[in-house]
Each structure stands twice: as structure tokens, then as C-alpha cells.
Amino acid sequence: MPRACDYLLEGYTYHLTHRCHNRDFHLRFDRDRDVYREWLREGVRRYKVPVYGYCLTRNHVHVVAHVADRVAASDLMHLASGSLAKQYNLRKGHEGSVWEHPYQCTAIEDGRHLLNCLRYVDLNMVRAGVVSHPSEWRWCGFDELTGKRTRYRIIDVDGLIRRLNISSLDDFRAFYGRAVEERLAGSVQARDPYWTEPLAVGSHGFVEKARCQFTRRHSFEYEQVASQDVDTWMVKESGAPYGTI
């Protein structure tokens, strides 16, 4: 998977993922997910990072955020994960790492690609078989995006609809609700690795533009994603290590 320390570029929207160490279930209890979310909300307030979506599972987290400032985005992720780890270790008497390091990142093109990524994130616990609808999992962004959660919000919905090129908040909420229902009516069980494992996902022009800005010396390869409802490509490192596509 692409490490954020190598591939986080300013001016792009990213799908950021962070797993618990050894995939342990350090977030299995409600209180721990509540702690992470509160620190994520504090990080948004403190560092002014626009967050467009999130999902906190029992052993990893997803955050979709726009990176206008690379340091601020890193500070946001470090504040949430570090604060959770401190409180978890104190409460449980736990020793050792809580998180795998570093967190991973995939650049996502604005518009339909971003919408599809948000839907994928919100449906995480449906794919896991924990709930039948994202509205039943209160540690994801679905209720904020559809207007059902109005207090202690994290998501910058106004910024999001500009990136999706949707004219109004009401139009977005109706459109997003339909998009989720359409996916629920089909198959949501399969994990789509192209949202987490490549360096960038979007049109061919978008992934090529992103690749040209990567400063790390490496060979790259492109692959078209056939299953999407919009022309979609991904770029990844050639000869990537075990665990990637």
C-alpha cells in the first residue's frame, strides 16, 4: 500500500486508511471509536483540514480528506491515532503499538470518483456483515452526509459538494442517498482494493498527473478498473510488495 510519508501531495483529495497493529481489534468497543472520532473532530477544528467522509471499524479507520497542507493533514491523523492510543493504553494497561505505521493514502479524483469512494467507505461495515445499512453504524459519515446528524459534525459538506460539482445541499443528499441504495440493491460484499492500494484513482489524465508529481524514484504501472460506472484508472508501484494488488 502507498505510504503517506512518500506519496501525500498538496492539492489532492485522499482516501487515508490506518490499521490497528497486527489487525488487532483495538477499536472493538464503542468507547474507543467514540474517543477516536472526538479527536478526529478536534483535529479538523485545530488544523482546518476538510474531511469529506470517514468510517471507524473495529480494527482500522478510513478518512477521506482534502490535503491543502501536507503537514496539517499529517497532524490531523497523528492527533487522532496518537490520542486514542494513549487513552487505550492507560485504560487497558496495554503495552506495545496500537497502530501500524505509517497510515496509507490513495489520491482520489473529484467528481464521480470521489462520490464512489465515499460510498465505498460508508458501506464498509455492511460488507463486513455487521450492519445491513450504513445508517445503523454511527461511526461513519453517512448520517452527516444525508443530514441526519446535525451536532458534533466532522464533515465539510459545503466543500464536498463543490468538489462533486453538485449545485445544492439538498440535491447532494438526495443523490447520495440514491447512490447508496443502488449499491445496496446490488452486491456490496466484495472488497474493492483499488480504493486503498493504488497511489491514485481516477481518469487516466488524473492518475498520470499525480504520478508525475511523485518524487520517490520508482517504476509505475497503470491499470483500468472495469467495474466502475465511470472511466476509472489506477496507478501503482511496479513490483509492489506483498499485500498490494
Asked if the structure places residue 76 within a domain, the reply is yes
Let me know: does 232 contact 214? Beta carbons within 8 Å.
no
200-202 and 104-108: which strand pairing?
parallel
Q: What is the mean pLDDT of residues 195-202?
A: 93
Query: DSSP characters for 116-138?
Result: HHHHHHHTHHHHTTS-SSGGG-T
Q: What is the CA radius of gyration of the chain?
A: 17
Asked if the structure places residue 217 within a domain, the reply is no
Q: What per-residue confidence (pLDDT) applies to 189?
A: 67
Asked if the structure places residue 202 within a domain, the reply is no
Q: Tens digit of pLDDT for each residue in 117-146?
A: 999 999 999 999 999 999 999 999 999 999
Asked if the structure places residue 227 within a domain, the reply is no
Q: Residue 110 sits in a domain of what CATH number?
A: 3.30.70.1290
Count of domains observed in the chain: 1
- Stated pTM of the model: 0.92
* Residue 41 lies in domain: 4-193
Q: What is the mean pLDDT of the chain?
A: 90
Asked if the structure places residue 125 within a domain, the reply is yes
Q: Tens digit of pLDDT for each residue in 16-75?
A: 999 999 889 999 999 999 999 999 999 999 999 999 999 999 999 999 999 999 999 999
> Is residue 242 scored above 60 in pLDDT?
no
Asked if the structure places residue 133 within a domain, the reply is yes
Asked if the structure places residue 8 within a domain, the reply is yes
Q: What per-residue confidence (pLDDT) applies to 214?
A: 84
Asked if the structure places residue 207 within a domain, the reply is no
Percentage of the chain beyond pLDDT 90 is: 74
Distance, in Å, from the CA atom of 200 to the CA atom of 22, rounded to the nearest integer, reads 25
Q: What per-residue confidence (pLDDT) applies to 5?
A: 65
> Is residue 243 scored above 60 in pLDDT?
no
Distance, in Å, from the CA atom of 26 to the CA atom of 36, rounded to the nearest integer, reads 11
